[in-house]
């Protein structure tokens, strides 16, 4: 019996990565409050959001679907100087974020959470990214492309923003939004096969 896989996201990047691995799935986007709690560390925030997304999507399934389905939730954020850097609120937020990351090392945290009727498991994958020096003029040109507006940390490594990345230590696919190896292993653990 094939176990249905539900992706709790509207992300084209995440669905493309699942397809790249050969996992047939349906998308079931959910809308949750992604605000951090007072004093919440980046790792706790990203894990909580991935789990909330997975559980919210699972709750939307009917009783029959809940008995057989596996739901995958994921969230990605940037951790810099102990702070969580999510999607930019506006152009000035994007500029401030990328100027902070300029010529510095930061961490990209991606959490994956799998939920079924009997169990759940959450994992956090941490990748270190070294930025090259970036000028305000470069950031303003980048903002004008529209790419950074909905990206954690205000950049997309797989897109135009990749030009700011000097090096990556860890999972590049996790920076894009879904760690391939860890996701495959976790889905297999829950009985989902390609």
The pair of three-digit structure tokens given for residue 91, joined into one six-digit string: 């152009």
Residue that has been written with the tokens 């000097």 in this structure: 166
Burial (CB count <10 Å: 0-12, 13-18, 19+), residue 115: buried
Which H/E stretch holds residue 72?
strand 70-80
Burial (CB count <10 Å: 0-12, 13-18, 19+), residue 93: middle
Active site residues: 75
Burial (CB count <10 Å: 0-12, 13-18, 19+), residue 146: exposed
Residue that has been written with the tokens 């909330």 in this structure: 52
**Helix (H/G/I), strand (E/B), else coil: 171:** coil
């Amino acid at each position: 019996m094939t176990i249905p896989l539900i992706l709790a996201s509207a992300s084209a990047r995440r669905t493309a990565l699942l397809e790249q691995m050969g996992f047939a799935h349906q998308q079931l986007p959910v809308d949750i409050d992604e605000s951090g709690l007072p004093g919440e560390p980046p790792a706790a925030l990203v894990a909580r959001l991935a789990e909330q997304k997975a559980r919210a999507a699972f709750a939307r399934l009917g009783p029959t679907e809940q008995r057989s389905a596996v739901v995958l939730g994921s969230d990605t954020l940037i951790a810099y100087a102990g702070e969580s850097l999510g999607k930019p609120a506006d152009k000035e937020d994007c500029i401030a974020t990328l100027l902070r990351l300029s010529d510095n090392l930061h961490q990209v945290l991606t959490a994956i959470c799998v939920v079924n009727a009997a169990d759940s498991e959450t994992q956090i994958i941490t990748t270190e990214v070294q930025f090259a020096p970036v000028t305000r003029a470069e950031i303003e040109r980048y903002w004008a492309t529209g790419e950074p507006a909905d990206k954690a940390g205000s950049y997309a490594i797989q897109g135009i923003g990749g030009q700011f990345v000097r090096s990556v230590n860890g999972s590049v696919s996790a920076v894009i939004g879904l760690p391939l190896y860890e996701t495959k292993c976790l889905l297999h653990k829950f009985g989902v096969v390609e």
